[in-house]
Amino acid sequence: MKQFYTLVFFLTTSIMLCQSNYLVDNFDYTAGQALTENGWNAHSGGTTNPVTVSSEGLSWTGYIGSAVGNAALVTKNGQDVNKRFGADISSGTVYASFLMNVNAKTSLAYFFHFGYYLNQSEPVLIALNSAFRARTYVNLGTDPDTQFKLGLTFNSNSLDDGGETADLNIGETYLVVVKYKFIDGVDNDEVSLFVFPQGATITTEPATADLGPFTGSAEDAPVLQNIALRQYNASQNVTVDGIYVRTEWNLVDAGTALSTDDFALSQISLYPNPVNNGTLNIVTPTNELKEISVFDVSGRMVLKTKTENNSIDVSQLKTGLYLLNISINGSKKTSKIIIN
């Protein structure tokens, strides 16, 4: 039991030290500019009715992205844009938080989603795979002149495959969190949505989401590489601001951006895991020198090696759970491995 708590402490400490922002955009750009002039990529619609920067931002007291810059006007039928994460994400949980305001009567359309590129290893940033995940909708409310609803599906164009929130107020700014959870197995990942009015408590993740969790009729995302803003209807009337993408629930602390080395480390692939034949493959984008240390559940180092190869011999390790530390050029990544 003591060893178990040691492992939990080690894992928790590692996670706390590695808090990072995979994407931040407070739209602190010149009003009237297109987002494509500021690091976003048009993957649909060309230059027709581009997504542009508003003249003022949105506010939500207590949220990290409140009143920082301007905002994005996702209000037309035309260009769709995406922005790449600082690193790919293919496991765990992904949270995309943002402020939104619907300023007039709206129409059914999904305006936000996660995505990945057609070429995942060498992305062309204007070429998205059409397997959009966590499609986030805006729709008419019970009183369409004063209310709207948010909707969510895993992958579907129909809200019949997902759900809708209760009525929300036109003209009021809400904090929205869209969650994608990778789950071991085939076609069982989940998406959820949380929506918070001004003054709500956001320090911890609520036990129950406003929508979801939903699975889908399509395959799980192999990786998440970007978020996208979509324009489908000239009357969707959505303003978006303060986008943060993280792998843990934290809506109040600024965090740090991922570095280039962090991005390289994110591309590491470990397999097979669990290890059954005594060999663990460690594939990285380049064949740089890797410093590898393996620790057992008590925190004792049981293996240390340096290699430029893409595999290491772990046959001397006993069956069990281990932590594997990989260091490349001073940047480090910690992963769990299981030896069978």
Output the domain CATH number for residue 248: 2.60.120.200
In the predicted structure, residue 206 carries a pLDDT above the cut 70: yes
Do 57 and 136 lie in one domain? The reply is yes
pLDDT grade for 266, boundaries at 50, 70 and 90: low
Do 202 and 63 lie in one domain? The reply is yes
Do 240 and 100 lie in one domain? The reply is yes
Q: Where does a domain end: 238, 257, 276?
A: 257
Q: How far is CA 143 from CA 31, 110, 169, 172, 337, in A?
A: 32, 20, 10, 15, 53
Q: How many domains does the chain have?
A: 2
Determine the pLDDT at residue 263.
54
Q: Mean pLDDT throughout 99-116?
A: 95
Q: How far is CA 95 from CA 39, 161, 176, 191, 312, in A?
A: 21, 21, 10, 10, 34
Whole-angstrom distance, CA of residue 298 vs CA of residue 1: 10
pLDDT grade for 276, boundaries at 50, 70 and 90: very high
DSSP assignment of 195-245 equals: EE-TT---SS--SS-SEEEE--SSPPPS-EEEEEE--B-TT--EEEEEEEE
pLDDT grade for 128, boundaries at 50, 70 and 90: very high
Whether the pTM exceeds 0.75: the reply is no
Do 200 and 54 lie in one domain? The reply is yes
Do 266 and 243 lie in one domain? The reply is no
Q: Where does a domain end: 239, 257, 275?
A: 257
| Residue 4 placed within a domain | no
Determine the pLDDT at residue 15.
39
Whole-angstrom distance, CA of residue 140 vs CA of residue 156: 18
Do 124 and 181 lie in one domain? The reply is yes
| Residue 136 placed within a domain | yes
In the predicted structure, residue 17 carries a pLDDT above the cut 60: no
| Residue 265 placed within a domain | yes
For Cα atoms 248, 251, 254, give the angle at the middle one, nearest 5 degrees: 95
**In what helix (H) or strand (E) does residue 100 lie, and over which residues does it extend?**
strand 93-102
Q: Mean pLDDT throughout 192-201?
A: 97
Which residues fall within 8 angstroms of residue 79, CB to CB, at 6 or more apart?
34, 36, 42, 44, 45, 46, 47, 48, 49, 50, 51, 231
- What is the biggest distance separating any 2 CA atoms in the chain, rounded to whole angstroms? 69
Do 248 and 290 lie in one domain? The reply is no
pLDDT grade for 16, boundaries at 50, 70 and 90: very low
Whole-angstrom distance, CA of residue 191 vs CA of residue 134: 6
pLDDT grade for 87, boundaries at 50, 70 and 90: confident
| Residue 72 placed within a domain | yes
Lowest mean pLDDT among 172-181, 255-264, 269-278: 255-264
Whole-angstrom distance, CA of residue 245 vs CA of residue 228: 12
Lowest mean pLDDT among 44-48, 195-199, 281-285, 327-331: 327-331
Q: Where does a domain end: 214, 238, 257?
A: 257
Do 217 and 293 lie in one domain? The reply is no
- Provide the percentage of residues in the chain whose pLDDT is more than 70: 89
Question: What would you report as the CA-atom Rg of the chain, rounded to the nearest whole angstrom?
Answer: 22
Determine the pLDDT at residue 21.
87
| Residue 3 placed within a domain | no
| Residue 11 placed within a domain | no
Determine the pLDDT at residue 19.
52
Which of 22, 4, 24, 9 has its CA nearest to residue 248? 22
Range of the domain at 285: 261-339
In the predicted structure, residue 34 carries a pLDDT above the cut 80: yes
Determine the pLDDT at residue 330.
64
**173's tokens:** 């700014």
Q: Mean pLDDT throughout 166-185?
A: 97
| Residue 123 placed within a domain | yes
Do 243 and 142 lie in one domain? The reply is yes
Do 56 and 192 lie in one domain? The reply is yes
Whole-angstrom distance, CA of residue 128 vs CA of residue 131: 8
Which of 110, 48, 98, 36 has its CA nearest to residue 69? 98
> Dihedral through CA 223, CA 85, CA 288, CA 316, nearest 10?
-40
Do 33 and 144 lie in one domain? The reply is yes
Do 73 and 196 lie in one domain? The reply is yes
Determine the pLDDT at residue 328.
75
Q: Mean pLDDT throughout 95-101?
A: 98
| Residue 179 placed within a domain | yes
In the predicted model, what is the mean pLDDT of the chain? 88
CATH code, domain carrying 318: 2.60.40.3080
DSSP-derived letter for residue 186 is S
**64's tokens:** 């990290």
In the predicted structure, residue 151 carries a pLDDT above the cut 70: yes
> Is the Cβ–Cβ distance between 57 and 241 less than 8 Å?
yes
Q: How far is CA 99 from CA 29, 49, 81, 173, 217, in A?
A: 17, 22, 18, 7, 29
DSSP-derived letter for residue 154 is S
